[in-house]
A and B are shown apart, each in its own frame.
Chain A
Amino acid sequence: MVVELLSYLFAGLSLGSTYVLVALGFTLIFGVMGIMNVAHADVFMIAIFTYLLITTGFDLPTGLGVVIAIFAGALAGLIVYWLVLKRIDKGHPVALFVSTLGVSYVVENFIAKRINFGRPSLEPIFGSDPIIVGGVVFTGPRLLLFAVTAILAGGLIFWLKKSETGMLLRAVSENAVMARVVAIDTNRVTMIAIAVASFVAACGGLVVGNMTLTADAFVANSLSLKMFAVAVVAGIGSVGGATIVGLTLGVIEAFTVAYVGSQWQNVIGLVAMTVVLLVRPQGLFGRVLRVG
């Protein structure tokens, strides 16, 4: 019985970790730029595809594939910013938002159509024999996922609180106009935020792909639902909150699938989001939505 519960708990934490890894960047970007970048979840997918392209398509070593994939993901985020987001004036938030929809659409369909790499030999990293602790199965990829999530989430929170650049980011997040009044280069800060966010998403994509061993060009469509839910429930811009909420959501979903029924899994996020929006729109950990 206990074993069962623990299994579900850890399954939930795996799920939750995925959500955290993609929501962290999303909420960071929204905090700093004030826009909801729907295309962020696609960075996740881009990393996986790049890795497969490098290792299977070009037959290069794993390590190189990982490095290039992460780099590609971060770069993808920045390119979208340079080419698209930066060029649409902030006075048109709707156009900005729709443009992220458009970018997501383009990227997903382009990759679905154009990226082929023969038969992918999907061998997981650290995929050897699973460790069994107290009846609960821990595979290498799952442990890697936990480790990476902990490091990235913890690192991000620490960086935001303690570093100089993190402080600048927090300032821009709170009030972009006032940040300019204290001579902060908001453009540079935004690029840093996007680079960091995309880096996290790319790592996330790799580490999750390592576990699920699938590559779906349209994975962002189902993932983004959770991304929004976590960000909204936690409160836009709250990185620590997103971590807690993401993990919790994963666990709740896992238990729901186990004890209630799989068709309800995706409803939870939506319900939580609805309740929060009706009762406390700024999110559980959020302050009033950013000014400016």
Chain B
Amino acid sequence: MDLAVKEGTITTLVGSNGAGKSSALRAMAGIIKTEPGTVTVHGEDISTLTTRDRIIEYGVVLIPEGRSVFTTMSVAENLHLGARVGNERSKHGHAATFTTEEAYDLFPVLKERQHARAQTLSGGEQQMLAIARSLLMSPRVLLIDEPSMGLAPLLVRKIFGVMKDVFARNSVSVLLVEQDTSIALELASDAYLLEHGSVIAHAPSAEMRNDSRLREAYLGKGDALGRTQGTGNA
């Protein structure tokens, strides 16, 4: 699998279940080991580094799929975990790009509920929390795994709309894994289609939308956007 993310852009990985999208992200973050293969950031090979080093020195930050907040801890504590990393990164010479205040401005509901346990937040709020925390870590490369899972598409679009500015302002490069192809192709400028662990297509989103291989990959009865009857997801 050969992927490249252009700096400051959002790239997406699409493909049906089992195509290996999540694994790719986790391998990049260092959570699982890659067999032959390397991960490089700005040309530097980080394959042998631990997850922690990848975060601190290269700003490679993962937002895992599903429940990605610490439910037994408060909103403020969760954010603090992110801010700690941002602080540590700035001590290593990577200036903090995002502050807790900005996080609260971006997602006001987090400020309201700051002392509440993350468990009491709704799915969408938890996702906002995860994203805010990740932004506090001063990421250079943000790996987002299935943000739409369990959330209404409208909410996902809204959250991302808000975030796109932040990404642009702080030159964060984003690699997005998404099951819902229509959202993915809307948000990203560039797309890779995965199947069975390999890249079978690479194109700008607009072109990918019409690529027949996309439809085939999903084995669905839907159109190229992967939509099957009635549902918004592939």
- Do A and B touch (CB < 8 Å)? yes
- List chain A positions with a Cβ less than 8 A from chain B: 164, 167, 170-171, 174-175, 177-178, 180-185, 287
Q: Inside 8 A of B72's CB, which chain A residues have their CB?
A: 170, 174, 287
Question: Does more than half of chain B's interface fall in helix, strand or loop, or is it mixed?
Answer: helix
- The distance in angstroms between the C-alpha atoms of A164 and B83, with both chains bound, is 12
- The distance in angstroms between the C-alpha atoms of A185 and B53, with both chains bound, is 10
Tally of contacts, chain A with chain B, CB under 8 A: 51
- The distance from the CB of A286 to the nearest CB of chain B, in whole angstroms, is 11
Q: Inside 8 A of A182's CB, which chain B residues have their CB?
A: 55, 81-82, 84-85, 133, 137
Q: Inside 8 A of A184's CB, which chain B residues have their CB?
A: 52, 81
Whether A171 touches B70, Cβ cut-off 8 Å, given contacts A177-B31, A182-B85, A182-B133, is yes
- List chain B positions with a Cβ less than 8 A from chain A: 29, 31, 51-52, 55-56, 61-62, 64, 68, 70-73, 77, 80-82, 84-85, 88, 133, 137
Given A183-B84, A184-B52, A287-B71, output 19 extra A-B contacts at Cβ < 8 Å: A167-B73, A167-B77, A167-B81, A170-B72, A171-B70, A174-B71, A175-B70, A180-B31, A181-B31, A181-B51, A182-B55, A182-B84, A182-B137, A183-B52, A183-B56, A183-B137, A184-B81, A185-B52, A287-B72
Q: Which of A171, A177, A185, A287 contacts B81 (CB 8 A)?
A: A171
Q: Inside 8 A of A170's CB, which chain B residues have their CB?
A: 70, 72-73
Q: Inside 8 A of B77's CB, which chain A residues have their CB?
A: 167
- The distance from the CB of A174 to the nearest CB of chain B, in whole angstroms, is 5
Q: Which of A167, A171, A180 contacts B51 (CB 8 A)?
A: A180
In the complex, 22 of the A-B residue pairs with CB atoms within 8 angstroms, ordered by the A residue number, are A167-B73, A167-B80, A167-B81, A170-B72, A170-B73, A174-B71, A177-B64, A180-B52, A181-B29, A181-B31, A181-B51, A181-B64, A181-B68, A182-B55, A182-B84, A182-B133, A182-B137, A183-B52, A183-B84, A183-B88, A184-B52, A287-B72
Contact check, B64 vs A178: say whether CB atoms are below 8 A apart: yes
Q: Which residue of B lies closest to A173 (CB)?
A: B72
Q: Inside 8 A of B64's CB, which chain A residues have their CB?
A: 177-178, 181
Contact check, A183 vs B85: say whether CB atoms are below 8 A apart: yes
Q: Which of B51, B68, B70 contacts A183 (CB 8 A)?
A: B51
- The distance from the CB of A210 to the nearest CB of chain B, in whole angstroms, is 36
Q: Inside 8 A of A183's CB, which chain B residues have their CB?
A: 51-52, 55-56, 84-85, 88, 137
Q: Inside 8 A of B29's CB, which chain A residues have their CB?
A: 181
Q: Inside 8 A of A171's CB, which chain B residues have their CB?
A: 70, 73, 81
Q: Inside 8 A of A175's CB, which chain B residues have their CB?
A: 70
Q: Which residue of A lies closest to B85 (CB)?
A: A183
